[in-house]
């Protein structure tokens, strides 16, 4: 059994890629992802990882190299943040539509402008509809575990899709956390060699990524939509196997003290652990509150979310978005949670708040304020309309 050691989360994620025995790493350094790719470059240079480290002049090329390498049958890893992901965007779509199971460690960071190197979820939300499997980690251990599982999930022949693992930039990347890091032998057989379904091979030439004329484009998109939808049971299969082997259990939707809660805060990423402190504080005061973590972002876990939120004690959900949908429905998470519950008869009210943009810390008092927003909605019975459609930012200087 691995022992718990203090390690910087970025280094642990790079170690996960090494333990997965990746063939190709192509990445461009960007804050706050830098330590991940620096460590991988060092591992390759020192001969500790037998892989090609493809240095590139931009993230656009990094993702292009990843897709090409994956199409040639390699196990591929990359990592980026923020503007880097935005620059990759065009090729991010290709990775999923060509069904190349690239694994990306995404150190979540806000988007410019103004220029901000700090954490929020603007970068991943911009990639919401790219067709990648997208999973959130809320601490370093989870980021490490999920990076390892990402290879199993994406490369499963029933899935064959790229996977991005989200973890908060700086808040997680630059923290030294006590973590269980596997011995290499312990994890080796969890991740078998990659066997591509479709591979570029000069002896058996095929074309990947051809023109999709109007007669086939729609069918190609349907195929892709079914692929990500059907990845859901395989994701849970991998979570289950990981739990059986190593004792750490992951679920598409996770809860904290939500069983008898009336008001829950729903969020993604590291804020969940801080929100749990607020839950404990409010529980001491006798308030029935809890927290819900939307770990799996794509494919969206409709059934698991409904199971937690509908027909239960929960009367009010407060969704914390770390990103603004400008001129739209406050934030993407609120929009999707509301939409998922729309047809449910016995559903809670759902209200949204935005906080923690561009690295702004959320204080304990501010989490309490979010629960107060929920309580106010519950009291007035209003979760929509003019006032609640406004983007309510907690921690804003008015």
Partner 1 sequence: MKLKEKPTWKELPFACSVPEPGNSVHYKTGDWKTLKPVVDKTKCIKCGTCWIFCPEYAYEEDEYGYYEPNYEYCKGCGICHRECPAQCIIMEEEVVE
Residues in touch with partner 1 (CB under 8 A): 97-99, 160, 197-198, 205-210, 212, 215-216, 218-220, 222-224, 226
Angle at 354 between CA 349 and CA 355, to 5 degrees: 130
* CA–CA dist 306, 287 (Å, integer): 23
Question: Which residue, among 106, 99, 105, has the nearest Cα to 18 in the 3D structure?
Answer: 105
The least CB distance from residue 332 to partner 1, in Å, is 27
Nearer to partner 1, 225 or 365 (CB): 225
Q: How far is the CB of 67 from partner 1 (least distance, A)?
A: 11
Smallest distance from partner 1 to CB 222, Å: 4
Shortest distance, CB of residue 133 to partner 1, whole angstroms?
A: 15
Give the number of other Cβ atoms within 10 Å of residue 235's Cβ.
24
Which residues face 46 on adjacent strands?
none
How many whole angstroms separate alpha carbon 118 and alpha carbon 82? 9
Torsion, Cα 303 307 309 315, to 10 degrees, reads 140
Closest approach of Cβ 90 to partner 1, in Å? 17
Spatial separation of the C-alpha atoms in residues 80 and 21, rounded to whole Å:
19
**What gap in Å lies between CA 146 and CA 132, rounded to an integer?**
15
In the bound state with partner 1, the residue whose beta carbon lies nearer, of 208 and 310, is 208
Which residue from 277, 308, 314, 278 is spatially nearest to 295, judged by alpha carbons? 308
Cis peptide before 113 (omega within 30 of 0): yes
CB closer to partner 1 out of 188 and 198: 198
47's CB contacts (< 8 A; 6+ apart) are none
Give the nearer residue to partner 1 in terms of CB position, either 160 or 370: 160
Nearer to partner 1, 192 or 212 (CB): 212
Name the residue nearer to partner 1 (CB basis): 1 or 211.
211
For residue 135, the minimal CB distance to partner 1 (Å) is 22
């Amino acid at each position: 059994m691995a022992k718990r050691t203090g390690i910087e989360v970025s280094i642990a994620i790079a170690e996960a890629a090494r333990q997965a025995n990746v063939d190709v790493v192509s990445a461009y350094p960007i804050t706050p992802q830098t330590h991940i790719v620096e460590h991988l470059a060092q591992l390759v240079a020192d001969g500790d990882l037998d892989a090609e480290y493809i240095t590139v002049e931009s993230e656009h090329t990094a993702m292009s190299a990843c897709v090409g390498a994956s199409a040639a049958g390699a196990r591929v890893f990359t990592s980026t943040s923020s503007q880097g992901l935005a620059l990759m965007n065009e090729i991010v779509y290709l990775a999923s539509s060509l069904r190349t199971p690239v694994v990306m460690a995404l150190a979540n960071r806000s988007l410019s402008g103004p220029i901000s190197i700090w954490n929020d979820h603007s970068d991943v939300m911009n990639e919401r509809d790219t067709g990648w499997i997208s999973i959130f980690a809320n601490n370093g251990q989870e980021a490490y575990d999920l990076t390892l599982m990402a290879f199993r999930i994406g490369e499963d022949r029933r899935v064959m899709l790229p996977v991005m693992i989200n973890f908060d930039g700086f808040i997680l990347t630059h923290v030294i956390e006590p973590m269980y890091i596997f011995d290499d032998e312990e994890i080796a057989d969890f991740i078998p060699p990659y066997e591509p379904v479709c591979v570029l091979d000069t002896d058996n030439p095929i074309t990947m990524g051809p023109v999709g004329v109007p007669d086939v484009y729609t069918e190609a998109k349907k195929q892709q939509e079914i692929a990500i939808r059907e990845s859901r049971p395989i994701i849970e299969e991998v979570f289950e196997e990981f739990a059986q082997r190593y004792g750490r259990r992951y679920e598409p939707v996770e809860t904290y003290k939500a069983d008898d809660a009336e008001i829950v805060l729903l969020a993604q990423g590291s804020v969940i652990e801080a929100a749990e402190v607020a839950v404990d504080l409010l529980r001491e005061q006798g308030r029935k509150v809890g927290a819900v973590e939307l770990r799996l972002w794509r494919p969206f876990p409709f059934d698991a979310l409904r199971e937690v939120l509908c027909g239960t004690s929960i009367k009010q959900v407060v969704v914390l978005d770390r990103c603004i949908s400008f001129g739209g429905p406050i934030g993407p998470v609120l929009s999707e949670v509301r939409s998922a519950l729309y047809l449910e008869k016995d559903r809670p009210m759902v209200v949204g708040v935005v906080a923690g943009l561009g690295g702004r810390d959320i204080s304990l008092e501010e989490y309490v304020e979010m629960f107060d927003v929920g309580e106010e909605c519950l009291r007035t019975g209003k979760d929509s309309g003019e006032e609640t459609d406004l983007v309510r930012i907690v921690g804003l200087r008015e």
